[in-house]
Structure 1
Amino acid sequence: MSGEQGRDRLKRIADFLFEAGMLRKTPRTGYQFLGTGQENVAEHSFRTSVICYVLARMAGADPGRAVLLGLFHDLHETRIGDFNYVNRMYNTSERSAALKDAAAGTGFSEDLLGLWAELEATETPEARLAQDADQLDLILNLKEQSDLGNTYADKWMDSAVQRLRTEEGRELARVIRETDHTDWWYLGPDPSWWANKNGGRKIKG
């Protein structure tokens, strides 16, 4: 499947953008084993890209390059879906071929296949950080599920932490595991906000 089918470049770019939107409809499948939580691949790719930026800034690497690696790291899943770790014991997929066909005729093939090759080789700092960002997004989700009472999430976090490749990734994972997932909003306002809506109602003594 070439993906071009005699279509001009702008048609293929439109095809590509419609295809990228399929990630909104592609579920991440590991949560069926965890028992709680859910997300689609587009949601995962967005925060992975944000984490790539954060890690690159922490490490003094190229934030733009790292973000691109994170943004496109699961684009092939528009065609093959998300294989969780159980699926991968029994199934194989042609991820490079799927990405090649998705980009065919757009003029982006060299860029996207180059990003994919860099990510898979994990020889550049940005690629190692992007691989860690992928795991850290999972760790963030698992911490939320752990906070909500799923004890299996802690076991999954133990495994995910072992897959981290960089000191920055391990440091951030440690702090994530020590942080309640609600702190960013619950501890942000003055404590009186939750009692009297920031002065809108006085509490009688």
Structure 2
Amino acid sequence: PSEVKKWDNFHTRALQAVNILREQGYNPFPLEKEIGDKPESYQKVNHLAIGKKVTYANLYSNHYAAQGEKTLVDGVRGGWMYNDDRWQGFIDCDFDVTIDLGKETDIKQVCAEFIQLKGPYVWLPKQVIISSSVDGEHYDTLATVDNDISPDIETLQFKEFGWEGNAKARYIRYKALSNGIAGGWLFTDEIRIK
């Protein structure tokens, strides 16, 4: 019953169980290093693109669709792992979307976060190009951001690719280039425009 549950007691016993499993030759999750979910995933984030129309040049994978076309503009950030139904995945292609803000708007920031985990072939993009347009036809490049994290790193990596400045735009194009490794994934959770 919940009235007799004590977190500290449970946690102590769970840590002991992990050590026993290690002694028996198993490789359990390193519970002593567990830090909870990613802080960004606890609260919705508010930004100019919430609920706006997203047009995809390359469609996301059905295996990692998250919330479909709403995923990138629903205000929900991803957790520590790409399979939590918050990250949207693209395989063997660039990530290339355009967001229609509905009207010409003053913008100061455009950013998105990507995840890398070498084992399952989840990579950071090679480069990100962020562009803006007032008419949907002529785009100005706001930023070109190169990735500086090696694909050879074995541990989980996160990197935010973005732009800050002052511009007027109705349309924002966010393009993340695949690193070209066959069978490789790109995952992002939210494009934030402020």
TM-score range, shorter chain: under 0.3
> Which structure has more strand as a fraction of its residues?
2
- Higher normalized contact order (CA 8 Å, seq sep 6+, divided by chain length): 2
**What TM-score comes out, normalization by structure 2 length?**
0.23
**What TM-score comes out, normalization by structure 1 length?**
0.22
> Which structure has more helix as a fraction of its residues?
1
